[in-house]
Structure 1
Amino acid sequence: MDDTVKPLRIPPQMSVYADRHNIFHLVQSLVSSLVVEQPDDPVSHLVSVLRRSSVDIARVLLLGPPAAGKHTVARKLSAELRAVHVTVDCLLQDQSDLGVQACHYTLKGQELPAALLVRLLQNRLSEVDGFNR
């Protein structure tokens, strides 16, 4: 440390406040959103993220081998959390340009490109009807 620079002292009550109000989680999710989506206008993007998201909304992703019971667990979780159960099948039923593009891959028996699947999922999760009332 440079002796000419006064050390930064953060009062302990600031950390307590940040923990109580989930500030650390909020900042982490905002920075993650910026890095993943890389918007042209970061400030308006952050405002829109803050308007549509909440720390209290559960976000669960289930991964596992075939026949491990992912759909069963997902249905139970969605009922318990009152959340939407999103599957690849329901993403492929989307009639948007992305959904039609994804159907071309499945009709040919090809695997969906990860970027296309991510865009389909982002579109679905950004829909207002994406959560139960």
Structure 2
Amino acid sequence: MSAPTTSGAADVPSSCAANSEQKLPSREEQLAAMTARVEELQKQDPSADLKLEQKWWVPSLDFGSYLQDALPQEISAQFNAIFAKLIQDKFAPEAVAKARKQSRELLQAEYPQALERVEETVFKNEAQFAELHRHLQGVDSIGCAGGNC
């Protein structure tokens, strides 16, 4: 999974855009890419506390692998669309709340174990989402003058 970039904060993670014909990046490749991106975001805004030492994105990447195995393709595609929209909305608090609600509606009846993993893995990090949103809003205000085009 790749993190949002300044010019591509709405980009869908590669694991979300992949279909059955595409080879997904390995877990190690995903971890390396996400780690590098979060470190870059921290460098861009040293006042942001992205909690790098906690490596909060690792469970999310592991969770993505779990979902590929646990959900049928149609449900997985719907779930990925929910999170693509969350990324597009730059993790705004209202977008996080909406994604959580939609995830519950999608998974609660037939996939309660997957929903439990969503809650434990993704939504426990709402404070980091808020910090990331704040950072992305600041980067957007800098625009190309900040060298982030």
Q: Same fold (TM over 0.5)?
A: no
TM-score w.r.t. the length of structure 1 is: 0.30
Q: Per chain length, whose mean CA-contact separation is higher, i.e. which structure has more relative contact order (CA < 8 Å, sep 6+)?
A: 2
Structure holding more helix per residue: 2
TM-score w.r.t. the length of structure 2 is: 0.28
Structure with larger Rg? 1
